[in-house]
Amino acid sequence: MVVAALLLVGAGTTVLTAVNARADTEADLRETVESLSELLAELTIVPAADETGRDIRARLQALADSLSVDGIGILVLPRNRDPIGNLPEGLTVEDLDTDLLRAGETQSNRDGDLLWAARGNVSRNGTQQVVVMTDEPDPLLMPSFRWFLLASLATIVVAALVAGRFSRSLTGPIRASRDVARRIAAGDLDARIPDGTAAGRDEVGELVASINSMADNLQRSNALERQFLMSVSHDLRTPLTSIKGYAEALTDGAIVDQQQAGRVIETEADRLERLVGDLLLLARLESTDFPLNRRTVALNDLVDATVAGLQHEARGREVTLTARIADTPLWADLDPDRYGQIIGNLVGNALRFADREVVVTLWSAEGGTHLSVGDDGPGIAEADLPHVFERLYVAEHSPAVQESGSGLGLAIVRDLTERMGGSVTARRSSLGGAEFVVSFAPAPPPTP
């Protein structure tokens, strides 16, 4: 790029300088011939009897040398006769406009590389005469051109050194990024680009940081996926083991209370059904055609009815389930069945961790309608709060619970809430445990 730029700039500069030099030379030549013509107007140029054309040309050339021009010629223009005199080499009488020169005008032109100027005048004795001068500018301004070549060569050397250093600093991180990307693609999730490979916050530095961040996320996702598979496998194996054990005992006739055995098998089958249903729902939530029956709903009655339906499970766990619902009707645009599923998942999760109390609160504030589910359980560690809604996340400090679960309920809550245009957050509860808040934009009541 530097060489190409130098060539373009050098060629352009040389051409423009040459054109300007020609124009300046022509202007100087016109000025000189006009001055000399005024001087010679006081004289009459008539060759002496003993002078030859060669002697006249020698005298004119000496005058040309003194004036720093290539040649001088003087013509006498007698009336009704051909011009008399000598022109500089390269010019003929046919090149001149004698009518223009007889009128005392200045004429200039170029013939190839030869520049010439002519001026007519009338001497004191009335003789028409013409002064012609020629000059030739430096063809390519060779002294300047040589300096330009030297400067260009020095510039190219410096540019090559700078470009080599710059290219190494630029391509080095890119090659490192390419190699690490290939290792990651081959399954080496421990591959990272070394720190300091690309310093600063330029585009290359951002590329390096992005690849390292991608590798961290892939490694973390891979670890979470393994944890998730182990968790789901355990949740599947436990009820299956129980069902198989009771089925074998029933087959062998080793169980006296067959109704109790049937209830256990039914309970474990329900657990399997819920787990499979959660997995299928999460898979469907990732598709773009997940069905939602959205309409404007009064949340007060919906929350009250949903909490009432969960009271039986709360009593079975010996936990007090309380609903605190605003007196003012609160409306939102959502799918009521899916909203009820969100409440059920949050309350079910709270019942698993609560010691004695779970509180469901519905209120309006800050331009939104909010539903919170809080418990008095052990709560959630601060480090785990940003990740509790990830479907593959397993908390580092998981508290002891009354029974194991699939760990998919909160992920379903987040996906359903966001699908309906809401948001969900996790925080510490005023009861001492965890609290989850689901928020939706308020909607005007439907027109009767």
> Residue 442 in contact with residue 334, Cβ under 8 Å?
no
Pair type for strands 357-365 and 320-325: parallel
Check residue 431 and report its DSSP letter: T
* Half-sphere exposure of residue 25: CA atoms within 13 angstroms, side-chain side: 23
Stretch 170-181: mean pLDDT: 83
Asked if residues 335 and 440 have their Cβ atoms less than 8 Å apart, the reply is no
pLDDT digits (tens, 9 = 90+) for 78-90: 776 777 777 788 7
pLDDT category at 394 given cuts 50, 70, 90 is: low
pLDDT of residue 404: 43
Decide if pLDDT at 252 tops 60: yes
pLDDT at 49 (0 to 100): 44
Which pLDDT score, from 0 to 100, does residue 131 have?
Answer: 83
Whose structure tokens read 């390419």? 178
The pLDDT-based confidence of 206 (bands split at 50, 70, 90) is: confident
Average of per-residue pLDDT across 423-436? 92
Work out the pLDDT band at 401, boundaries 50, 70, 90.
very low
Per-residue confidence band for 233, with pLDDT thresholds at 50, 70 and 90 = confident
What is the predicted pLDDT for the residue at 424? Answer: 94
Domain ranges of the chain: 2-140, 228-285, 295-440
pLDDT at 403: 45
Full-model pTM: 0.50
Binned at pLDDT 50, 70 and 90, residue 402 comes out as very low
Q: Give the CATH number of domain 228-285; options: 1.10.357.10, 2.30.30.240, 1.10.287.130, 3.40.50.1220.
A: 1.10.287.130
Higher pLDDT, 99 or 18: 99
Identify the weakest region by mean pLDDT among 271-280, 319-328, 408-417. Answer: 271-280
Mean pLDDT of 376-387: 86
Lowest mean pLDDT among 242-256, 295-309, 318-332: 242-256
CA dist 134 and 73 (Å) reads: 9
What is the arithmetic mean of pLDDT over 329-357?
92
| pLDDT score at 363 | 95
| Contacts for 394 with CB less than 8 Å, ≥ 6 apart | 224, 227, 228, 231, 407
Which of 73-87, 91-105, 386-400 is predicted most confidently?
91-105
pLDDT at 60: 54
Summarize pLDDT for 273-305 with one digit per residue, the tens: 877 877 777 677 766 667 788 999 999 999 999
pLDDT at 358 over 90: yes
pLDDT band at 264 (very low <50, low <70, confident <90, very high): confident
CATH number for the domain formed by residue range(s) 2-140:
3.30.450
Residue 85 neighbours by CB distance under 10 Å: 21
The residue behind tokens 């010691």 is 355
Query: Residue 436's pLDDT band (boundaries 50, 70, 90)?
Result: very high
Average confidence (pLDDT) over 306-313 = 91
Of 165, 167, 101, nearest to 130 (Cα)? Answer: 101
Contact 47, 59 (CB under 8 A): no
- CATH H-level, domain 295-440: superfamily: Histidine kinase-like ATPase, C-terminal domain (3.30.565.10)
Residue 339: per-residue pLDDT: 93
Contact 55, 177 (CB under 8 A): no
**Mean pLDDT in residue range 136-146:** 61
Local confidence band at 48 (pLDDT 50, 70, 90 cut-offs): very low
d(CA 384, CA 142): 78
